[in-house]
């Protein structure tokens, strides 16, 4: 009865209260062909030790990025996380108070969020940032919806080289708000402005894009201004902002980003931390919450929730978003890691990432059957193989080499992308890792 605290008497009383004679009657509307007639085939209960061994055996089947060379990217990036960052976020005052439901007594949490917002605004080149969103994909969708509210237009133009997950999440959200979403051609940003008309609220473009290419966006920014549309810039690899011109410098109106690279491990796809920053004049249409600085009755520095336009706090029809919290612990990890790096360290980390990627590209260019497609990139780029990329990746995985992400995995159905592979190098990539990848590709191709 450890996990089933209700007694038979409890069950009878609840059934009587809702007016049914048995638990089976609760399922009368479920079609008989899908209703289970016998228990699910699961193992019987085990001791705690046995459960740990069973779960551990499952975990051993995974390819661990710390145990073999990894060139995975496409939205999740392997970076070194200082031990101090992990130690600090596990302090009970941070670990247990993930969201300030009573802001005035959550001064530590609010200060951490305030510092986080300041950092995000600085590295993105924007005026103000919120206290975080769920992840980069939902931040992208929120940015698009925010632009529609600001411009009072209902059309969103997505770059064809936007991360496919970001594209899908934005389209799903827009579908229930009667917003029109159109996308440019894959691997081409040049046709975007042809899709813009007087109904367009924003143009959403990623930099570096899904294929790893770095673009100058100032021209598109100017064209957006002339069309009365906002420019939303998506940053999938936040470390790139230590080396590249910030979105704000290139004329972005809203920045949506993924912050996983700082302070947060891969964790097989989550949890992540979404970033959103914008110009001050748009702050009231920003989703989520905003922590602000103030002074108390004694003139001492303090923090408050300056803005919280979410439906938990105000009338639903007035809310800018239905987001119910922020990624508090992941945002704290981001903020601690960035604070430990400092401005100089952040730029040094970015340069190291780019240098590693340049070395990787140079070595791959010398492998028969491999062609580096990108002219410009940060720490991730696309290569063309002489064979199906997905098959090559599976073969190398059997040799304990995580060779990268087949483009066809995220963009299925396009035969022109079958042989394309996204590869990433970070500060974690060693010369030995690169040598093993090149040797593996030479043998497989």
DSSP letters along 155-212, please?
Answer: EEEE-TTS-HHHHHHHHHHHHTTT-EEEE--TT--TTGGGG--TTEEEEEEESS-TT-
Domain boundaries, the chain: 83-338, 343-444
Structure confidence by residue, pLDDT tens digits, 2-16: 677 888 999 999 999
Distance from C-alpha of 17 to C-alpha of 389, rounded to nearest angstrom: 59
Domain 83-338 top-level CATH class:
alpha beta
| Predicted local distance difference test score (pLDDT) of residue 66 | 86
Same fold, 83-338 and 343-444: no
7: exposed, middle or buried (C-beta count within 10 Å: 0-12, 13-18, 19+)? exposed
Q: What is the mean pLDDT of residues 56-79?
A: 93
Alpha-carbon distance 275 to 336, whole Å? 15
Both tokens assigned to 253: 């109106």
Lowest mean pLDDT among 40-44, 195-199, 229-233, 437-441: 40-44
pLDDT in tens, 342-387: 999 999 999 999 999 999 999 999 999 999 999 999 999 999 999 9
**Range with lowest mean pLDDT among 218-227, 288-297, 436-445:** 288-297
Which of the pair, 421 or 59, is modelled with greater confidence? 421
pLDDT at 64: 85
Question: What are 85-144's pLDDT values in tens digits?
Answer: 999 999 988 887 766 667 777 888 899 999 999 999 999 999 999 999 999 999 999 999
Lowest mean pLDDT among 31-40, 218-227, 246-255, 375-384: 31-40
64-68, 82-86, 299-303, 311-315: least confident range: 311-315
Q: Which CATH number does 343-444 carry?
A: 3.90.1150.10
Residue 166 sits at the vertex; the CA angle it makes with 176 and 409, to the nearest 5 degrees, is: 120
């Amino acid at each position: 009865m450890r996990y089933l605290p209700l007694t038979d008497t409890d069950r009878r009383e609840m059934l009587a209260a809702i007016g049914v004679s048995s638990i089976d009657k609760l399922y009368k509307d479920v079609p008989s062909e899908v209703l289970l007639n016998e228990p699910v085939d699961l193992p019987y209960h085990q001791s705690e030790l046995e459960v740990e061994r069973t779960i551990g055996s499952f975990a051993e089947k995974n390819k661990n990025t710390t145990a073999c060379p990894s060139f995975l990217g496409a939205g999740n990036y392997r970076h070194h996380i200082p031990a101090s960052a992990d130690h600090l976020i596990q302090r009970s005052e941070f670990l247990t108070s993930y969201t300030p439901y009573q802001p005035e007594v959550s001064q530590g949490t609010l200060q951490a969020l305030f510092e986080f917002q300041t950092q995000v605004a600085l590295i993105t080149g924007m005026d103000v940032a919120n206290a975080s969103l769920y992840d980069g994909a939902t931040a992208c969708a929120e940015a698009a919806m925010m632009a529609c509210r600001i411009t009072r237009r209902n059309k969103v133009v997505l770059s064809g080289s936007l991360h496919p997950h970001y594209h899908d999440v934005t389209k799903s959200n827009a579908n229930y708000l009667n917003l029109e979403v159109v996308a440019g051609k894959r691997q081409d940003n040049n046709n975007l402005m042809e899709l813009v008309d007087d109904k367009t609220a924003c143009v959403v473009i990623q930099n570096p894009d899904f294929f790893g290419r770095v673009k100058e966006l100032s021209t598109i920014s100017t064209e957006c201004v002339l069309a009365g549309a906002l420019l939303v810039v998506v940053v999938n690899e936040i470390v790139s902002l230590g080396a590249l011109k910030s979105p704000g410098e290139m004329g972005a109106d809203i920045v949506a980003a993924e912050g996983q690279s700082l302070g947060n491990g891969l964790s097989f796809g989550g949890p992540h931390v979404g970033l959103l920053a914008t110009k001050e004049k748009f702050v009231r249409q920003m989703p989520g919450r905003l922590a602000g600085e103030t002074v108390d009755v004694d003139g001492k520095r303090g923090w408050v929730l300056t803005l919280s336009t979410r439906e938990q706090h105000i009338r639903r029809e007035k809310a800018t978003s239905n987001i119910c919290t922020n990624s508090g612990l992941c945002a704290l990890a981001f903020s601690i890691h960035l604070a430990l790096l400092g401005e100089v360290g952040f730029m040094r980390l970015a340069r190291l990432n780019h240098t590693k990627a340049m070395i990787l590209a140079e070595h791959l260019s010398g492998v028969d059957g491999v062609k580096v497609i990108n002219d410009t990139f940060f720490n991730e780029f696309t290569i063309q193989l002489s064979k199906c990329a997905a098959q090559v990746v599976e073969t190398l995985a059997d040799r304990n080499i995580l060779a990268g992400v087949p483009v066809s995995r995220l963009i299925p159905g396009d035969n022109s992308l079958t042989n394309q592979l996204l590869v990433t190098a970070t500060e974690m990539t060693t010369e030995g890792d690169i040598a093993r990848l090149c040797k593996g590709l030479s043998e497989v191709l």
